[in-house]
Structure 1
Amino acid sequence: MTAGDGGRAPLPRGARLGVDVGSVRVGLAASDPDGLVATPVETLARDTKPGAAVPADVARIAVEVEERGAQVVYVGLPRHLSGGEGAAAQGARAYAGLVARVVAPVPVHLVDERMTTVSAHQALHASGRAGRKHRSVVDQAAAVIILQSALDAERGAGARAGEPADPTGDHRP
């Protein structure tokens, strides 16, 4: 700590993961160990088969957390433009809670992701990628936007972005 940092301890060095949760696919992004730049990792098929103790997509996220030595996982919270929450937000809260249980003690935080999918589609279109080809990478691009926003917020605040996910299953906002 220095006089210029307001007495805050620096965040631990290590990668961060960003997750864009959809009903069919999950986008995954990761940062460098210094938490400066978010890059796409992969798009996972959402495992909705009943009976698995840990769905395959969540297990894959846990592998990434371990392999990268991730210090935090940021899951996008799709709020309405008004700031309210609907079914998609409740689904993201439930998903983040499950991820939190599986990757504990690594913290999982929910971060506002309003407009990330729209921004991802716009960025892909601007890069020359045809609309029908967006589907395979739009979730990764949205995860990159979610993670980069969280990284920027971390640097500004000197603390983790968003709100901690509730691993107990009580997903009320």
Structure 2
Amino acid sequence: MDALKARFESHPERHPGVTWEDVARQLDDARLRALAYREETCGEPDVLLYQELLYVADFSPESPQRRSVCYDRAARLGRKRNPPATSACELAESNGLELVDEKIYLAMQELDPLDARTSSWIKTPEDMRAQGGALFGSRRYDRTFIYCNGADSYYAARGFRACFPLE
């Protein structure tokens, strides 16, 4: 909680008009466990105000240290060779988190350039996922890009960015 408070105070542009007391009173045991996991995996979580809602989202400069995972359980189980031990969605869910969606990822990129050397899985719409694909984002050439890949792919430089809502 101390690391979150320090980031909160260092980056007021991420949550204008929000006080630390607004955040601290919402950090119950489940959220504190989710926060601890994100600190352990170098996610550098901070509070994000997006469309009048508060989230605690991963602001590490590069994708957090939860990498070499495919998108979800179905993709992992569907791999014929060398399946990873787990997936982004499974890790997020087991730690009380959800993947950031495309809109939140783009809003985060407006505040801080993220994923200049890595990429991060982001929440994928069901219709795309039903066709075997999944979304990920990165930043190259001073622009943010959203791409698609087979959901069963995984790379050492691709992790996932997670969040949980407050309120």
The two structures share one fold, judged by TM-score above 0.5:
no
TM-score, normalisation: structure 2:
0.28
TM-score, normalisation: structure 1:
0.28
